[in-house]
Structure 1
Amino acid sequence: MHLVPTILLLSSICHFAVANNGQASVAFRFHNKCPFPVWPAAAPNAGHPVIAAGGFLLLPNRTRRVRSPPTWNGRFWARTGCDFSSSRACQTGDCQGRLACNGTIGTPPATLVSLQEVDSEPSFYDVSLVDGYNLPVSVSTWPAEDKCSIGGCTRDVNSVCPRELQVVHEASGAVVACRSACLAFDLDAFCCRNAYGTPETCRDSVYSRVFKEACPGYFSYAYDAPPPLVNCHAGEYVVTFCPARWGSGHLPL
């Protein structure tokens, strides 16, 4: 996300807060349950450091643990179909062709896990499709608590994505991501801006409802209500890509 479109600004509304509570650091455990490699990426909010060099490879059924300062703010996403010998390395979520994004925001559409600090309060976190979708993601605390979990999706959004929102792999014709309506059409009503810049004036649409029906625990648009934020504090959080294993028909090429 380096040509930062307006849609990216909307996702800053919903973030994840990691508060200090006397801890020296917070751990994030990334688990890849997809039947293909993913390249997790991290981008800090302004004033926060880059963690894990901003990105790394995670093979199927592998886990990587990353530590951050206790008040780190930012976002995570997974890149798919990457080949770092090309200038646009990844089919989805690419960050200027780099393996280590080093703080660069990825190109939408990509499913975002967002984090925001609130001093002396538990963590706030969410999964957002405001920038569109590429993979299902779940988030939980460790040890796990039901009230602190964001589940994955009941369906793969790419399999139900309207044609006008689809991102299609040129060689195979496979749908590899689904754009949000804001990203696809750049209209105020979909982007929740100008006259539509309040919860009262920006409402759901036929497109956001596709997202919501498939992934009920995620933000489907900027003013999704009630806001699907989770408010829990833990010393470790688990971010799982493809929490429900997909069939072979869903593998990115």
Structure 2
Amino acid sequence: MKLPKWNTYGFFLFLICHSLFSGRSSGHQVAFYVHNKCPFAIWPATAPNTGHPVIADGGFHLTSGETKRIYAPWDWKGRIWARTGCNFTSNGQPACETGDCDGRLACNGLIGTPPVTLMQISLQADGTKPNFYDVSLVDGYNLPVSVTTKQISSKCTIGGCSKNLKNSCPMELQVLNKNGEIVACKSACLAFNLDSFCCSNEYGSPEKCKPSVYSKMFKDACPYYYSYAFDSPAPLVNCASKEYIVTFCPSSWGGDRSSI
């Protein structure tokens, strides 16, 4: 049976509106391909800055070698990190050895417990301006991560680490699991909460807050990351793209399961 004219028109209008306003059709979103190259499972997580929506439910599971594509609005600002050693069936808190968010699989906006290696990004609203992103060890380290645009460019790439920080992490910064294994390395700020390490109060400027023996150790292992708050030159990358690849345990990292 032929549809009435008004109904046909309404359906056609619906298709146009759906094409214009659905994120994937309009291109008003940015895609992140989150890839797990670690030889074990991880639980990537996301948290938005204030005023921005939660993406990918705030967290998900990736087996070794698996990639998941997630989407963010093109003006999104927030962070991505990986959780390790998670067990969400034990009803215990924390559920993860590193990066835990109140024992939940879907963090739903909660920030992970440091120390974790943080990928931070600020997307620009019109989709044509460069997006700003970095990797930070200001609160510490749990896994290496690399970030690049899908069309790989050296100027748009944040490389992984040349060394496994857990192997050189001093005792005073170590985070151990219940088996006594080192699962993360705290920053000096997180470990000691001193203004001189946290670049706060009277040390709240680049002139007053200088690299410490701890931040230099971080920088030596992971030269592309922020090693402390006023790291210079600032390892901030700005590149325009609608697709980014975020890889945990990239090939430039020589770690294995036993060493982390």
Give yes or no for TM over 0.5: yes
Match of 1:199 among 190, 206, 216: 206
Alignment-mate amino acid for residue 45 of structure 1 = N
Aligned to 1:110: 116
- Give the deviation of 1:169 after TM superposition: 1.4
1:181 aligns with 2:185: no
RMSD: 1.2
TM-score by length of 1: 0.88
Number of equivalent positions: 229
Inter-partner Cα distance in structure 1 for 2:59 and 2:102: 12
Distance 1:226 1:29 in 2: 28
Give the whole-Å Cα distance in 2 for the aligned partners of 1:250 and 1:29.
Answer: 26
Q: Would the aligned equivalents of 2:29 and 2:74 in 1 still touch at CA under 8 Å?
A: yes
Equivalent residue in structure 1 for 2:242, among 227, 232, 235? 235
How far 1:233 moved relative to its partner?
1.1
Contact in 1 for aligned 2:79/2:118 (Cα 8 Å): yes
Over residues 17-54 of structure 1, what are the superposed CA-to-partner deviations in whole Å (9 max), with x where a residue is unaligned?
Answer: xxxxx941100000000000000000000110000000
Distance 2:69 2:125 in 1: 25
Structure 2 residue matching 1:224: 3-state secondary structure: coil
Q: Give unpaired runs (5+ residues) of structure 1.
A: 1-21
Say which SS state the counterpart of residue 162 (structure 2) adopts.
Answer: coil
Match of 2:149 in 1: 141
Which residue of 143, 152, 161 maps to 1:153? 161
1:93 aligns with 2:99: yes
The CA deviation at 1:230 is 0.5
| TM-aligned CA deviation for residue 236 of structure 1 | 0.3
Q: 1:35 touches 1:246 (CA, 8 Å); kept in 2?
A: no
Of structures 1 and 2, the one scoring higher in RCO (CA 8 A, sep 6+) is 1
How far apart are the structure 2 equivalents of 1:88 and 1:102?
16
Shift of 1:118: 4.9
Provide the rounded CA distance (Å) in 2 between the counterparts of 1:136 and 1:206.
20
The offset of 1:146, in angstroms, is: 1.0
Q: Distance in 1 between matches of 2:257 and 2:75?
A: 39
User: Taking every aligned residue pair, what percent have the same amino acid on both sides?
Assistant: 60
Runs of 5+ unmatched residues, structure 2:
1-25
- TM-score with structure 2 length normalisation? 0.86
Aligned-partner Cα distance in 2 for 1:191–1:24 = 37
Partner secondary structure for residue 140 of structure 1:
strand
Aligned-partner Cα distance in 2 for 1:118–1:24: 11
More helix per residue:
2
Give the whole-Å Cα distance in 1 for the aligned partners of 2:93 and 2:202: 39
**Match of 1:249, as an amino acid?**
S
SS in 2 for 1:195: helix
Q: Secondary structure at the match of 2:31?
A: strand
Which residues in structure 2 correspond to 1:1-253 (within 5 Å)? 23-84=27-88, 85=90, 86-118=92-124, 121-171=129-179, 173-244=180-251, 246-251=255-260
Q: Deviations over 1:161-185 (max 9, x none)?
A: 01100001122x2110000000000
What secondary structure is seen at the aligned counterpart in 2 of 1:207?
Answer: helix
Matches of 1:118 and 1:143 in 2, distance apart?
A: 19
- Distance in 2, Cα, partners of 1:247 & 1:58: 17
Task: Call closer, same or farther: CA 1:203–1:119 in 2, change over 3 Å.
Answer: farther
Cα deviation, 1:182-212, whole Å, max 9, x if unaligned, reads 0000000000000000111111000001100
- Range 29-38 or range 82-91, more displaced: 82-91
Distance 1:188 1:116 in 2: 27
Q: Answer yes or no: is the 8 Å Cα contact 1:108–1:131 preserved in 2.
A: yes
